[in-house]
Chains A and B, each alone.
Chain A
Amino acid sequence: MSAVDLVLTGALLLMALGLSSILFAARPMGSTIVYASAGVLSALVALVGLATLVAGAGAGMNVGASTLWLPIGLPWIGAHFRVDALAAFFVIVVGFGSSIISFYSIGYGRHEHEPWRVLPFYPSFIGAMLLVVIADDAFSFLLSWEVMSLLSWALVLTHHRESAVRSSGLVYLIMAAFGTMSLILAFGLLAGPLGAYDFQSMRASGQTPLVGSVVVILMLLGAGSKAGIVPLHIWLPLAHPAAPSHVSAMMSGIMTKVAIYGFIRVTFDLLGGTSWWMSEIVLAVGAVTAVMGVLYALMQHDLKRLLAYHTVENIGIIFIGLGLAMAFRHYDMNAAAALAMVAALFHIFNHSVFKNLLFLGAGAVQTATGSRDMEKMGGLIHRMPVTSLLFLVASVAISALPPFNGFVSEWLTFQAILLSPDLPDWGLKILTPGVGGMLALAAALAAACFVKVYGVVFLGRARSEVAKTAREVDRWSLATMSVLALVCLLAGVFPGVIIDTLSPVSHALVQATMPVQSADPWMTITPVASGRSSYNGVLVLLFVTMSGFFAAWVIHRFASRSLRRAPAWDCGFELDDPSTQYGAASFAQPIRRTFGTKIFSARESVTMPPPGSTAPAKFSVSLRDPVWDGFFARVSGAVTWLADKANRLQFLTIRQYLSVVFAALVLLLLVLTLWK
């Protein structure tokens, strides 16, 4: 059996698992069976993808694409499936991530009150994502995409009795419909007037620059709304936290990547080339998304919503890499294009790993404390030592600090940005350093944000009773999170292995590869030329470990040998109230005042009690979402206004109805007359 047969079988088995789980979802062992089978199936599928890529890297960068045609679907198209290098990479991302999340859910899913609301949809959702990735004609692609959207919507609505969840689901549904509409238009343009809906003929038929640009913009709207680029991200921080944590991880860590797959597939594979100004748009969108995403995140005190906004930020970083790859490819700078492309792909993989870890960690915290509000946590490092260590790893990774994987991919993106002075186009020459600045800002703010998260959630003293009595989560959860943390570390220490594995993908997309990294001694990676820049993860890890041990030794040797527990220092006050600690809002205050006053119209107000009253003074912060107020509220207002106006059509007299029909007829006849 070829790779495509195996992946398709895996996807269909996952869907069948979802269907059959209806029968036994309510049984006590139901969720364990479903999650374990889903985990095993996804892991096998990921192995197929990995084998395909490794075989391709071995055989001169050419992955022999395996294709399959089934006579189902539209009669004149059928259903095409294909596993090439790009699809194989995303099969790995989807399969690996889903398998880890599934095994995590064996423990986590026991806390679900109504498992039958999750179980039928969960494996089918994985299957649908796999189908999107291996689809090779527009019809199968869009169908799988819609199935994926609907299943994830059903998963978002798991806790449908909360009204906030229902409204999140509605916003998600509307945005998903909008995205699919854009995708349908894009594929319609690609198929052309003859309706060549299979990807093979789309590749063969060249598009005019204008059509190509419109297609890229439509893909940016369609795939971007699913991935969460600003300003189409609004559903993401609502829907992702509303779902159970393993589903949040799935949507944030994996489904957004499937959306990016759609963008890459069309922009780099189906379209032969793109206009120069398209890359500028993608770069600008990426930069704005990265900075806005992290600024939004800084203002949040809901742990999962904060993580969802960080997904927005990382999607921006990925789109910066993709925009650079488009620019370099347009000017035939193949080595640079390969670098930018690998940086984007590497970041896709990394984000799927550490974002899953973060969401699973958040799920563990939520299980332990029953809350997502950071202001109610604190001191969890004493109660949940393993979870806090793993969460720390993910926080360091997402903050792009060595020696973890987030650093490598962002560093590669910066290397690509540093190559931009070689671009012949002045617009890009000026824009790209600005984008680099935004990327640096986003990375720094992300680090600040995770200092806040870690400090408030895990350090300090417990801010509520539940945080005091929190207990470590089960072993399944800890084991799976440890695997993800290990992958974060390994990918950061041995990035050369991953870069070499990604080479067939960049070869297929930009017809170039980065230099072979495994040839370098001591696991060094050199993206362009050794004289220019290089990074050695092993060395950094050694340095970090040794200096850490040395510092610990020095402190314990020369300061004090014993561990002392003393009351926390409260600026001289003898208050035992944990709310006197530095909180999430306090930490974000300088950044909120600097950026938020303009962007979020952040206003602080202090309400003093009347004289003589012993009531406490109240401090409150109001934030406004510029995207929601400036765009979506207006659009929905306009729709409501139009609907109100159209409402009058319901109460016309019979003669007026006849007149409307008559006017429509005359209008059509007039158009017919004036045509040509």
Chain B
Amino acid sequence: MNTLSFDVAHMLAGGMLLVSFMMIYQTRLYALLNVFALHAMVLALSVAWQASIQHAPHLYVTAGIALFFKAILIPGALHKIVQRMGIHRQVEQVVGTGATMLAGMGLVALSSVLMLNLTATASAFAREDMAFALSVVLLGLLMMISRRNAVSQVVGFMSLENGLILAAAGAQGMPLVVEISVAFSVLVAFIVIGVFLFRIRERFDSVDLSVMDDYRGEKR
């Protein structure tokens, strides 16, 4: 593998990680959705680059799916939901930005050390790619637990999926059908969660999950 293609792939994967961090410090929902769209766009670029250097045309399809669904369709739909619910002004972090960022850095360090240990025999690119992908997955999880609002949890979940797709694209020889099914499952998850959001909203007049906790008879 020549140096240029490795460097570009490295840059794009690193870019995804960077955008993941950017998502963590977004306090407003609109901004968060925009950054998520950026995340998906970088993912599409990264997958497309993989398609070209691996000479795997089916990966272009994956990139297309990522671009169309995750960078355009889903953020747009979420935008509309936020608008209709009128929650675009909410600040809804549970843990402060600083602490979350520090935790995120710890997670990145953890996944790098772990992946570099585990994949000692794999090619340099696969190792880097896996380390980045695991970091993105962990940051997505971190986001899911550090946010209170259901919409941003959906975003966290989607960015977690993005990490999975990044890993899948880097691992050579991944069949298209798997990627399509991953993409499709994300879409289904989005629809289901979207429907649920409105149900929750109808019932509790809020999408703040702590209201549901109150409903269950719990006081924290």
Query: Residues on A close to B: CB < 8 A?
Result: 651, 653-655, 658-659, 661-662, 665-666, 669-670, 672-673
A669 to B135, CA, bound (A): 12
Q: Does B5 contact A (CB under 8 A)?
A: no
Q: Does B94 contact A (CB under 8 A)?
A: yes
Tell me if B213 and A673 are in contact (CB < 8 A).
no
Other A-B pairs beyond A654-B212, A655-B94, 10, CB < 8 Å = A651-B218, A653-B210, A653-B213, A653-B220, A655-B148, A662-B142, A662-B145, A665-B141, A669-B114, A673-B113
Interchain residue pairs with CB less than 8 A apart (11): A653-B218, A654-B212, A655-B94, A658-B141, A658-B144, A662-B142, A662-B144, A666-B107, A672-B118, A673-B110, A673-B113
Tell me if A673 and B114 are in contact (CB < 8 A).
yes
Cβ < 8 Å to A, chain B residues 88-131: 94, 107, 110-111, 113-114, 117-118
A327 to B110, CA, bound (A): 54
Chain A residue numbers with a CB within 8 Å of B180 are: none
A655 to B147, CA, bound (A): 8
A665 to B137, CA, bound (A): 11
| Chain A nearest Cβ from B107, distance in angstroms | 7
Q: Does B53 contact A (CB under 8 A)?
A: no
| Minimal Cβ-Cβ distance residue in A for B218 | A651
| Minimal Cβ-Cβ distance residue in A for B118 | A672
Q: Does B155 contact A (CB under 8 A)?
A: no
Q: Which of B117, B145, B209 contacts A673 (CB 8 A)?
A: B117
Q: Which of B110, B144, B218 contacts A666 (CB 8 A)?
A: B110
Chain B residue numbers with a CB within 8 Å of A666 are: 107, 110, 138
Tell me if B111 and A669 are in contact (CB < 8 A).
yes
| Chain A nearest Cβ from B209, distance in angstroms | 5
Chain B residue numbers with a CB within 8 Å of A655 are: 94, 145, 148, 209
Chain B residue numbers with a CB within 8 Å of A672 are: 114, 118
Chain B residue numbers with a CB within 8 Å of A669 are: 110-111, 114
| Minimal Cβ-Cβ distance residue in B for A653 | B213
| Minimal Cβ-Cβ distance residue in B for A670 | B110
Cβ < 8 Å to A, chain B residues 67-85: none
A393 to B207, CA, bound (A): 83
| Chain A nearest Cβ from B113, distance in angstroms | 5
Q: Which of B141, B148, B209, B213 contacts A662 (CB 8 A)?
A: B141
| Chain A nearest Cβ from B196, distance in angstroms | 12
A653 to B118, CA, bound (A): 35
Chain B residue numbers with a CB within 8 Å of A654 are: 209, 212-213
A402 to B86, CA, bound (A): 98
Closest 7 CB pairs of A and B: A653-B213, A673-B114, A659-B145, A658-B145, A662-B141, A673-B113, A662-B145
0/1 interface trace, chain B 174-203, chain A, CB 8 Å (1 if under):
000000000000000000000000000000
| Chain A nearest Cβ from B121, distance in angstroms | 16
A662 to B160, CA, bound (A): 12
A514 to B215, CA, bound (A): 79
A665 to B138, CA, bound (A): 9
A673 to B131, CA, bound (A): 13
A202 to B168, CA, bound (A): 47
A653 to B114, CA, bound (A): 31
Chain B residue numbers with a CB within 8 Å of A673 are: 110, 113-114, 117
Q: Which of B107, B142, B209 contacts A653 (CB 8 A)?
A: B209
Number of B positions contacting A (CB below 8 A): 21
A618 to B190, CA, bound (A): 77
A209 to B33, CA, bound (A): 65
Chain B residue numbers with a CB within 8 Å of A665 are: 138, 141
A38 to B117, CA, bound (A): 65
| Minimal Cβ-Cβ distance residue in A for B212 | A654
Chain A residue numbers with a CB within 8 Å of B148 are: 655
Chain A residue numbers with a CB within 8 Å of B94 are: 655
Among A658, A661, A670, A673, chain B packs the most CB atoms within 10 A around the CB of: A673
| Chain B nearest Cβ from A662, distance in angstroms | 5
| Chain B nearest Cβ from A488, distance in angstroms | 68
| Minimal Cβ-Cβ distance residue in B for A665 | B141
| Chain B nearest Cβ from A162, distance in angstroms | 40
A32 to B113, CA, bound (A): 75
Cβ < 8 Å to A, chain B residues 118-171: 118, 138, 141-142, 144-145, 148
Chain A residue numbers with a CB within 8 Å of B107 are: 666
Chain A residue numbers with a CB within 8 Å of B114 are: 669, 672-673
| Chain B nearest Cβ from A647, distance in angstroms | 13
A222 to B76, CA, bound (A): 65
| Chain B nearest Cβ from A669, distance in angstroms | 6
Chain B residue numbers with a CB within 8 Å of A659 are: 145
A666 to B117, CA, bound (A): 16
| Chain A nearest Cβ from B159, distance in angstroms | 14
A670 to B107, CA, bound (A): 10
A655 to B114, CA, bound (A): 26
A659 to B144, CA, bound (A): 9
Chain B residue numbers with a CB within 8 Å of A653 are: 209-210, 212-213, 218, 220
Chain A residue numbers with a CB within 8 Å of B118 are: 672
Chain A residue numbers with a CB within 8 Å of B213 are: 653-654
Chain A residue numbers with a CB within 8 Å of B220 are: 653
A498 to B151, CA, bound (A): 84
A124 to B213, CA, bound (A): 54
Chain A residue numbers with a CB within 8 Å of B111 are: 669
| Minimal Cβ-Cβ distance residue in A for B137 | A665
Chain B residue numbers with a CB within 8 Å of A662 are: 141-142, 144-145
A673 to B138, CA, bound (A): 15
A651 to B212, CA, bound (A): 12
A662 to B210, CA, bound (A): 19
A653 to B150, CA, bound (A): 13
Among A654, A659, A665, chain B packs the most CB atoms within 10 A around the CB of: A654
| Chain A nearest Cβ from B84, distance in angstroms | 23
| Chain B nearest Cβ from A649, distance in angstroms | 13
A653 to B212, CA, bound (A): 8
A289 to B220, CA, bound (A): 53
A542 to B151, CA, bound (A): 98
A658 to B143, CA, bound (A): 11
A662 to B139, CA, bound (A): 10
| Chain A nearest Cβ from B130, distance in angstroms | 13
A662 to B144, CA, bound (A): 10
Among B142, B144, B145, B213, chain A packs the most CB atoms within 10 A around the CB of: B145
Chain B residue numbers with a CB within 8 Å of A661 are: 141
| Chain A nearest Cβ from B100, distance in angstroms | 12
A669 to B109, CA, bound (A): 12
| Minimal Cβ-Cβ distance residue in A for B144 | A658
| Minimal Cβ-Cβ distance residue in A for B111 | A669
| Chain A nearest Cβ from B131, distance in angstroms | 12
A432 to B170, CA, bound (A): 71
| Chain B nearest Cβ from A190, distance in angstroms | 35
Chain A residue numbers with a CB within 8 Å of B117 are: 673
A665 to B114, CA, bound (A): 13
Chain B residue numbers with a CB within 8 Å of A670 are: 110
A655 to B145, CA, bound (A): 6
| Chain B nearest Cβ from A310, distance in angstroms | 55
Chain A residue numbers with a CB within 8 Å of B209 are: 653-655
| Chain A nearest Cβ from B83, distance in angstroms | 25
| Chain A nearest Cβ from B117, distance in angstroms | 6
A437 to B210, CA, bound (A): 70
0/1 interface trace, chain B 33-68, chain A, CB 8 Å (1 if under):
000000000000000000000000000000000000
A670 to B111, CA, bound (A): 9
| Chain A nearest Cβ from B110, distance in angstroms | 6
| Chain B nearest Cβ from A616, distance in angstroms | 56
| Minimal Cβ-Cβ distance residue in B for A672 | B114
A666 to B145, CA, bound (A): 13
| Minimal Cβ-Cβ distance residue in B for A656 | B145
Among B111, B118, B141, B220, chain A packs the most CB atoms within 10 A around the CB of: B141
